[in-house]
Amino acid sequence: MTGVFDALTADRGRLDRASAAQRVADVLRDHITEGLLAPGTRLSEEALGEALTVSRNTLREAFRLLADERLVVHKMNRGVFVRILEPDDVADIYTLRLALETAGVRALRSATPERLAAVRTALNRAEAAEAAGDWITVGTADLHFHQAVAGIAGSERIDECMARLMAELRLAFAAVPSARGLHAPFLRRNQTLAGLLETGEIDDAEVELTSYLNDARAVIVRAMTDGSVTDGSVPDGSVTDSSVTDGSA
Partner DNA sequence: GCTAGGGGATTGTGGAACAATCCGACAAGA
Partner DNA sequence: TCTTGTCGGATTGTTCCACAATCCCCTAGC
**Interface with its own copies by CB under 8 A: which residues?**
9, 12, 16-17, 19, 21, 57, 60-61, 64-65, 68-69, 74-76, 92-93, 95-96, 98-100, 102-103, 153-158, 161, 165, 249
Based on CB atoms, which residue is closest to its own copies, 49 or 195? 49
Of the two residues 82 and 119, which places its CB atom closer to DNA in the complex? 82
Return the number of the residue (34 or 246) whose C-beta is nearest its own copies. Answer: 246
Q: Measured between alpha carbons, how far is 196 from 97 in angstroms, rounded to an integer?
A: 19
Residue 55 neighbours by CB under 8 Å, 6+ apart: 49
Least Cβ distance, residue 197 to DNA (angstroms): 42
For the CB of residue 219, give the shortest distance to its own copies in the complex, in Å. 19
4 interacts with DNA by CB under 7 A: no
Q: Could you say which of 8, 53, 157, 232 contacts DNA (CB under 7 A)?
A: 53
Site for DNA (CB under 7 A): which residue of 30, 34, 51, 57?
Answer: 57
- Torsion sign (Cα): 147, 150, 155, 160: negative
- Identity (one letter) of the amino acid at 150? A
Shortest separation between residue 87's beta carbon and its own copies, angstroms: 13
Which 225-244 residues touch DNA, going by CB under 7 A? 241-243
Q: 159 and 147 in contact (C-beta within 8 Å)?
A: yes
Give the helix, strand, coil percentages of the chain, each rounded to 5. 70, 5, 25
The yes or no reply on residue 214 touching DNA (CB under 7 A) is no
Residue pair 39/171 in contact (Cβ under 8 Å)? The answer is yes
Q: Which does 156 bind (CB under 5 to 8 A by kind): its own copies, DNA, none?
A: its own copies
Residue at 131: amino acid letter:
A
**C-beta of 31 vs 56, nearer to DNA:** 56
Of 31, 64, 78, 222, which lies in the binding site for DNA, with binding defined by CB under 7 A? 78
Residues with Cβ within 8 Å of residue 64, at least 6 apart in sequence? none
* Angstrom distance (rounded) from CA 113 to CA 121: 12
Touching DNA, residues 16-35 (CB under 7 A): 19-21
Under the phi-then-psi rule, with left for phi > 0, alpha for psi from -120 to 50, and beta for the rest, what region is 155?
A: beta
How many Å apart are CA 71 and CA 81, to the nearest integer?
Answer: 9
Under rule CB under 7 A, residue 120 binds DNA: no
